[in-house]
Structure 1
């Protein structure tokens, strides 16, 4: 049975109204005072709107894997609940899109049917207890047997642990006893099958994202041969394509969240009277609000850019610069926006039930999972430095002026970016440089969106805001700080003995 495909504007409006009714009118919250997970009846009402149909190909009854529609669903969800949006993000970017692109044609229909009609969910297993970001050294392995594969290993910190009906499992082929292939393969696991059970050994007490279960998963299963994903070239490049596409969908989750932080902050400051005047009239408050509004503008531009370049028709394995810039910058902006809202809200912002207080806790792990931001900023800087060396260029502004992704944006930062990079940089300097480059790339997206008709006053304010931030980052980059931690600091360091 194929779902009736309504106009997207009507589809997303109906979805938004359903979420508003549940989260604002009925008072469903992300509070720590409720049990983990969304009540089944509430989740049933949400899923009755078929939000995951946006990531199912049209030939299988879905809306067609249109990036704009996927990001719209993520934004609508994150305006009301960031954890809910992440649930959809996991399903869309880390399961359904990889299946649509890489799965054997013989298994797709049954999988998509269950998502469309039985409200199934799926996730991705890469991370292992001893190998977090070091995915290439994972120890989960598989060996071939008649008609399929036997997979053994341990995975952890998978969102939807114990809840997902399907998993994509990353592992390495066992070549000989104790020796694993350098490449990585992915298999679709259907936990409703007895021989494909995932044993949850422990549920983690995650601090934020309380609605999503995380835990430690033990694997010892038999997977049919047809459930192996088919890479275009190598498994590692397939993994990069999947992860980069996922990182390019972070702006969707960030969009609704930042929009909500901005709406809440403006409404509070407009109604709050301090010293006989509205909070909104204070200069420092205007500065803080302008930071959230700049984040709103940047995230909007990232969504537009992602909609153009991150569809499953494209291979994103080599697009680390844009993928890493989007993920790292937008998650920094999400955390900052929540922090500002809480600061402006005073004591009320510190309530568990406050959208800003929850926002701080729920958005914080976004800066860590799928590659910590420090690691991604380092990779951004490394990528640009390699390109500069290839062109025998040492002057940063001159390089960026000739680089398509930054050629227009960098002109707004000429004074700040006019310096040379002619020596090996420490990791802390690479992080600073990566932060600078990520924000210049983001301004390029903003300028591109303005050309399509986006409000110029928001763009102008955003550029001033980012320019101040880049100026501070350049100052940090140029400052000579080689301080190392003193590990045996206890001796002669207690103030009590000196007074």
Structure 2
């Protein structure tokens, strides 16, 4: 009798959280974060230790935040992209690690499961997420094949009722915590070689023959609350738990990764907003030379750039909310997704550096938002595609399209390109030249940095069309234009310095100081 009442109560509570307005849903989550991070505990202390006190995650998960990533027909809120980005923003204002935890669960597990999993698997997975507060993650990266994911060596062989997976994976967020994992592998041929395509499997570590052995937990620099490590894979996955691509496994992976990169602004939004608030408040209160820091011009320069980053991030959130839904195929939006991920993570790191500079020595502690923000935001420039690689890929995509159109003038191309047409005119003086389509790699990276910011500027202009306040829009556009101008100056430089490997001869200053 009591069990029946409790089950009905749990179901009723779940329905209320999945049907209430998103603002009300987020307000409850924010109240809970305030309680566990500031009233019952101290987030500054948590930031210095590995993992989280059990009650913190338990109480936050009582709000059922991951219901946002689950379709309505399975009891969730509908996997609406606007809501998912808002969830990431709310969490990252308090904790970037918590927001990333939500992001891993939603973008790298729940969304692909909802889109590509078989019915039998979806029903059981979503039920446990809603009722038992389970978590899931994604394993792609391997010790010898980091950015070279397409050459992964984890293999799968098909048996009568299951797939046998064998290999090693590392740097998967939530290592040792997640109840479910999306595992990537390549099928073995009869000759023992591995096929080019990639398969995804849902691994339930609570089931027999699906346990994943953690060989080592890493002492990751930053994001202390999230465990990372090296995992040994030797599991048997039921055939019902293999994802079903709409075309190929590689395209499914691109759709998944591009959608994830388009959601980075959600994690960045709350983080940059919090840094902006902390920086402004500190500079108002801190007196130097008889006046507040806010009155110094260099301080204003730093604060205005943080605020401009807030505006750029807002534009990206608005853009992703419209484009990145699970109902859309994002396989072909690599240029846009790479631009969003790389530009916003650069801005996250720069914002943290500026806050630390403004606060001074006090911020050079893990217990302070500035120092913590530097080490917590730094890996965002690396995981899910190193920014150097993504910038080069942006340029490769642009050059490919220019070749196809037989266009060499960069301005003419950008003026007609959907992602940059709004901003091209105001940048004509910088781009009105014939682009060498055979660029060295470092120039491809620099060009990608420029194009990424032009794409971002277009998003800011579109945000202005939606009614965002004009003074913030102006600041965002000005900052991007300055960065574009500076990087274009570097891009046009002919210098291509190379490392001198045998540098020891005649390179000691002491020898020449006599």
TM-score bracket, shorter-length normalisation: over 0.9
The residue aligned with 2:454 is 440
What CA distance in whole angstroms lies between the structure 2 residues aligned with 1:423 and 1:229?
A: 39
Question: Does residue 261 of the first structure (1) align with residue 275 of the second (2)?
Answer: yes
Deviation >6 Å, runs of 4+: none
Unaligned runs of 5+ in 1: none
* Aligned partner (choices 175, 192, 196) of residue 189 of structure 2: 175
- Say if 1:30 and 1:358, in contact at 8 Å, map to a contact too: no
Distance verdict in 2 for CA 1:31–1:382, change over 3 Å: farther
What CA distance in whole angstroms lies between the structure 2 residues aligned with 1:134 and 1:41?
A: 39
Displacement of 1:239 after TM fit?
A: 0.3
Unaligned runs of 5+ in 2: 1-10
The residue aligned with 1:118 is 132
What CA distance in whole angstroms lies between the structure 1 residues aligned with 2:502 and 2:267?
A: 43
What CA distance in whole angstroms lies between the structure 2 residues aligned with 1:459 and 1:331?
A: 20
What CA distance in whole angstroms lies between the structure 2 residues aligned with 1:487 and 1:81?
A: 43
Distance verdict in 2 for CA 1:26–1:286, change over 3 Å: farther
What CA distance in whole angstroms lies between the structure 2 residues aligned with 1:174 and 1:424?
A: 38
Question: Does residue 373 of the first structure (1) align with residue 387 of the second (2)?
Answer: yes
What CA distance in whole angstroms lies between the structure 1 residues aligned with 2:22 and 2:481?
A: 36
How does 1:9-20 map onto structure 2 within 5 Å?
9-20=23-34
Displacement of 1:351 after TM fit?
A: 1.6
CA deviation map 1:290-345 (0-9, x unaligned)? 11011100100100000001111001011101110110000000000000000000
The residue aligned with 2:7 is none
The residue aligned with 1:153 is 167
Secondary structure at 1:149's aligned position in 2? strand
Displacement of 1:498 after TM fit?
A: 1.8
How does 1:410-449 map onto structure 2 within 5 Å?
410-449=424-463
Secondary structure at 1:305's aligned position in 2? helix
- Say if 1:30 and 1:211, in contact at 8 Å, map to a contact too: no
The residue aligned with 2:15 is 3
- Say if 2:47 and 2:225, in contact at 8 Å, map to a contact too: no
Displacement of 1:31 after TM fit?
A: 4.5
The residue aligned with 1:43 is 57
Displacement of 1:422 after TM fit?
A: 2.8
Question: Does residue 66 of the first structure (1) align with residue 87 of the second (2)?
Answer: no
How does 1:21-170 map onto structure 2 within 5 Å?
21-29=35-43, 31=45, 34-170=48-184
Q: CA RMSD in A?
A: 1.2
What CA distance in whole angstroms lies between the structure 2 residues aligned with 1:31 and 1:171?
A: 39
What CA distance in whole angstroms lies between the structure 1 residues aligned with 2:447 and 2:38?
A: 41
- Say if 1:199 and 1:219, in contact at 8 Å, map to a contact too: yes
What CA distance in whole angstroms lies between the structure 2 residues aligned with 1:185 and 1:292?
A: 41
What CA distance in whole angstroms lies between the structure 1 residues aligned with 2:124 and 2:70?
A: 12
Secondary structure at 1:3's aligned position in 2? helix
Distance verdict in 2 for CA 1:130–1:107, change over 3 Å: same
What CA distance in whole angstroms lies between the structure 2 residues aligned with 1:191 and 1:30?
A: 32
Displacement of 1:33 after TM fit?
A: 7.1
What CA distance in whole angstroms lies between the structure 1 residues aligned with 2:47 and 2:311?
A: 34
What CA distance in whole angstroms lies between the structure 1 residues aligned with 2:99 and 2:358?
A: 25
CA deviation map 1:136-166 (0-9, x unaligned)? 1000000011111100000001100111100
- Say if 1:31 and 1:358, in contact at 8 Å, map to a contact too: no
The residue aligned with 1:384 is 398
Scaled by the length of structure 2, the TM-score of the pair is 0.95
Displacement of 1:32 after TM fit?
A: 7.2
What CA distance in whole angstroms lies between the structure 1 residues aligned with 2:187 and 2:294?
A: 60
- Say if 1:30 and 1:210, in contact at 8 Å, map to a contact too: no
Scaled by the length of structure 1, the TM-score of the pair is 0.98
Displacement of 1:100 after TM fit?
A: 0.2
